[in-house]
Amino acid sequence: SHPTALLIPKARGRQAQRAVYLLLVLCAAALYLTGEPLKPIFHSFTSHFVGLQIGVLLKGICYLVEEIFHLQSRYHGSFWRALSACFPLHWHRPMLLACGSAYVTLVNGDRQPLSFHLALASLCQLLNLALGIHKPSAVEMSEMSERSKRNVAHGLAWSYYIGYLKIVLPRVKKSMEEFSRANPNVLACRETWKLHILVPLSCDVYDDLEKADSNIQYLTDLTETTLTRAGTKKRVYKHSLYAIRDEDNKLWHCAVEYATPLQSLYAMSQDECAAFSREDRLEQAKLFYRTLEEILKGSKECAGTYRLIVYEELGNAETHFLSRDILWHLRQQRHEEYAVYEGNQPHNLSTTLSSAELNLQISESDLPQPLRSDC
């Protein structure tokens, strides 16, 4: 596998939730091993749990005070919508009632009045809110954004797919087939008849690929696709064909272009108004690649028409780092024994291989024969 495959983080699993269950069992076991009577343990447990529920209630009240000033613009004048947004009533209301009832029952035998305990619990929770201890960590924020798919990268990936790739990718092979008929010696290997999309994690996108690497030379443009889109008559979509020179001065030809949404991420990191740091940019670039890969894998019409090339260009990178990375992917495609669909693999073999092609793969000799992948 390519070394850059280690750069892209996988989606977070449920290890944190499993850790919660494990720690819960350990804490329960530790309390049991103390040998304390169950009534004071239950009393303390209920006190702490009621305190947490009071904290949720107080936090909701504080947020509601702010949202009241935005009823018309955010909630169409509905106070109930604002209330529902500030309080997760579906869970905390019954929990608060149950814990409160148990707490009142247990406190009746205490010397201190109930109002004292409630005031003390409220004071602790308000102090927690004032100090900002309740705020989620960076990991929690990242996980919430990824699970809700509200990151900048998710929007950019879907926009790139819906507004561009879904339109051009199904037409790529046809354009290359037309070009190959006119120039049979240029695109000899059908396995590379794809759009190679460059995804630099630095988001540093060159408008001219020849300036990025002198071993990449512009050759020509493929057949244009003209469509009417969003009020623009005869909007033109086209791809450029490049010649990549390897170490032996051999030329490899393919269609290459950058993933243009990365320019937006780079521009955001340069604009103070966006408050977008370099670390944020790197995280969003990785998430953009992962999201785009998931979208394209689920797209039947785009299957086998693209190749995502993700890379991280270090400060001391070689002059021809980009061309070597592209060549690695071209060689991978060329030396594959079978054409692997990047989307859903068809189950019916007869739809992918003709009878003549099947006969060619059956050896007439009893001896084992090597597999070949000549283009």
Q: Are 57 and 64 contacting, i.e. CB atoms less than 8 angstroms apart? A: no
* b/e per residue 162-179 (b: at least 16 CB within 10 A): eeebeebbbbbbebbeeb
Which residue carries 């999201």 as its tokens? 291
Domain membership of residue 245 (yes or no) is yes
Q: If we measure between CA atoms, which residue out of 40, 52, 45, 38 comes closest to residue 24? A: 45
Number of domains the chain is built from: 2
Does the residue 146 lie in any domain? no
Asked if 56 and 191 sit in the same domain, the reply is: no
My answer on whether 268 and 305 are in the same domain is yes
259: in domain? yes
Verify that 76 and 191 share a domain, yes or no. no
Digit-coded pLDDT (tens) for 63-96? 889 989 988 888 888 888 888 888 776 665 666 6
Q: How confident is the model at residue 148 (pLDDT cuts 50, 70, 90)?
A: low
Q: Do 166 and 93 share a structural domain?
A: no
Token pair of 215 as six digits:
């071993």
Same domain? 231 vs 88: no
Mean pLDDT value of segment 301-308? 92
**Whether residue 91 is found in the same domain as residue 188:** no
Concatenate the DSSP letters of all residues of 89-128 into one string. HHHHHHHHHHHHHHHHHHHTTSSS-HHHHHHHHHHHHHHH
pLDDT at 3 over 50: yes
Q: Is the per-residue pLDDT at 114 higher than 70?
A: no
Burial of residue 197 (CB within 10 Å: 0-12, 13-18, 19+) is buried
Q: What pLDDT is stored for residue 90 in this prediction?
A: 64
Helices (H) and strands (E) in the chain, counts: 15, 7
The answer on 97 and 128 residing in a single domain is: yes
Q: The CATH number of the domain where 157 resides is what?
A: 3.40.50.12100
Is the per-residue pLDDT at 22 higher than 70?
yes
Indicate if 318 and 173 belong to the same structural domain. Answer: yes
The CA distance from 27 to 44, in Å, is 14
Structure confidence by residue, pLDDT tens digits, 192-237: 899 999 999 999 899 899 988 889 999 999 888 888 888 889 889 9
Q: Identify the domain containing residue 267 by its residue range.
A: 152-343
Residue 58 has pLDDT above 70, yes or no: yes
CA neighbor of 216 nearest in space, from 253, 167, 262:
253
- Note the pLDDT of residue 16: 81
Say if 372 falls within a structural domain: no
Query: Do 161 and 270 share a structural domain?
Result: yes
Is 353 part of any domain?
Answer: no
Check whether residue 114 and residue 158 sit in a common domain. no
Write out pLDDT tens, residues 267-295.
988 888 877 888 888 889 999 999 999 99
